Amino acid sequence: MEKLWEDFGFGLFFWNAIIFVGLIFLLKKFAWKPILDAVNEREEGIKNALLSADNARKEMQNLQSDNQRILQEARLERDALLKDARDMKEKMVADAKNEAQAQGQKMIEQAKAAIESEKNAAVAELKLQVSTLSLQIAEKLLKDELSNKEAQVKLVEKMLGDAKLN
């Protein structure tokens, strides 16, 4: 310990203190502060860059999933549209068929009715014709019959005779 104290150089201690403290302040101003600031700044920059890259990736992912979703939706919509169109087509065809059928039926009905009425008219006409003809025939016959007096008397006698028998 005594040797330690003996070796202790006061001048060296003095210079050490001066140089060291001076070095601390000099380096603080010219080195440590700018270095640590720059490093901090860089670290912040890296952190921010990583964060924004992460955000961009997430956004990208979102966009991608959005795209996927939209595509999916579009596909579904297209399918729905196609299905609708097909349905409509079928319905239209069916409707048209039905209507045509109904129309046809109706026309047939009408035709049938017309035929019936024509037939009836024809029958009525025929009847009329027949009755006219019959009357004409009967008229002619009667004219002929009535012109023959003897036959008439004979007939009346005969009828009377029948009536007597009764």
Per the listing, tokens 């101003």 go with 29
- Closest to another protein by CB, 10 or 144: 10
Longest dimension (CA), the chain: 205
Cβ of residue 50: shortest distance to another protein, in angstroms?
Answer: 15
DSSP states along 8-60: --HHHHHHHHHHHHHHHHHHIIIIIHHHHHHHHHHHHHHHHHHHHHHHHHHHH
The reply on whether position 6 binds another protein by CB under 8 A is yes
Residue 40 near residue 47, CB atoms below 8 Å: no
Ranges within 42-61 binding another protein (CB under 8 A): 42, 45
Measured on CA atoms in the order 56, 59, 64, 67, is the torsion positive or negative?
negative
Choose one: 1-9, 56-64, 100-108, 135-143; the region binding another protein (CB under 8 A).
1-9
Choose one: 41-49, 78-86, 98-106, 154-162; the region binding another protein (CB under 8 A).
41-49
The reply on whether position 34 binds another protein by CB under 8 A is yes
The reply on whether position 10 binds another protein by CB under 8 A is yes
Backbone angles phi, psi at 108, to 5 degrees: -60, -45
Residue among 26, 80, 146, 155 that touches another protein (CB under 8 A):
26
The reply on whether position 39 binds another protein by CB under 8 A is yes
Cβ of residue 54: shortest distance to another protein, in angstroms?
Answer: 21
Backbone angles phi, psi at 8, to 5 degrees: -65, 110
Residues that bind another protein (CB under 8 A): 4, 6-17, 19-28, 30-36, 38-39, 41-42, 45
